Amino acid sequence: MDDRHDFPVPDLAELVGSRLCHDLVNPLSAISNGMELIGLSGAPRTPELELIGSAIGDAMARIRFFRVAFGAARAGETLSERELREIVTAIYGGGRLSVEWQVTGDLPRQDAKLAFLLLNCAETALPLGGVLTVRHSGEDWEFSGEGRKLSIDAESWQVLDQPISSDLLPPPSRVQFALLAKEATISGRRVRLSLSADRLHFTLSLTRA
């Protein structure tokens, strides 16, 4: 995929994200190919090899996800429904958090970026796992989550409601909140979080401001 810059206002952080993901894919792919060759050689699948193979698969899935969420997104570029489902399934298909991706059709890469940032933020609210349902209608997104425990870090979510300042910058583990706030502002939309009375369900929406 071509990540060369033809953006109205290039964002260096996004370009760096694209570059890192692009360059990391090659060595990981080489390791993955090496694992396949070991398998074809007839060597037994030892627990050690299984662990290495699982780690490589997880790393490749995360890089594909991060490239969409944190990388550059130029106008006019789209991602297919198949590719988006593959990425979501690879990340969330076997863990404690299940994601029901109820989105059909291809998406502009800029919308896919917003969706993955929303997903990256929403998953922090379910530390013990649960179910996230993703819906898309027109320009609006809705993420419905439920689990045995909700964990809402007020400082992180506060970033979505106020202009970014040095006092509100989140730690690296929550950088997705700052990026989502920026992307939502650029697209003229607003992020809203609402909690149920029992605080076991939440809804995260992105709508026109």
Position 35 scores a pLDDT of 85
CB 205 within 8 A of CB 188: no
Mean pLDDT for all residues in the chain: 87
Q: Is the pLDDT of residue 9 over 60?
A: no
Model confidence, pTM:
0.86
- 40 burial type by CB count under 10 A (0-12 exposed, 13-18 middle, 19+ buried): exposed
Per-residue tokens: 27: 């060595």
Could you name the CATH architecture of 79-209? 2-Layer Sandwich (3.30)
Q: Report in angstroms the alpha-carbon separations of 86 from 61, 110, 126.
A: 9, 18, 22
Q: Could you tell me the residue ranges of all domains in the chain? A: 1-72, 79-209
* Tens digits of residue pLDDT in 153-194: 888 898 887 656 556 677 888 999 999 998 998 899 999 999
In whole angstroms, give the CA distance from residue 85 to residue 64.
12
Contact 114, 147 (CB under 8 A): no
Residue 145's DSSP bridge partners are 132, 202
Q: For the ranges 2-11, 42-51, 85-94, 111-120, which has the lowest average pLDDT?
A: 2-11
The 10s digit of each residue's pLDDT in 118-152 is 999 999 999 999 999 999 999 999 999 999 889 99
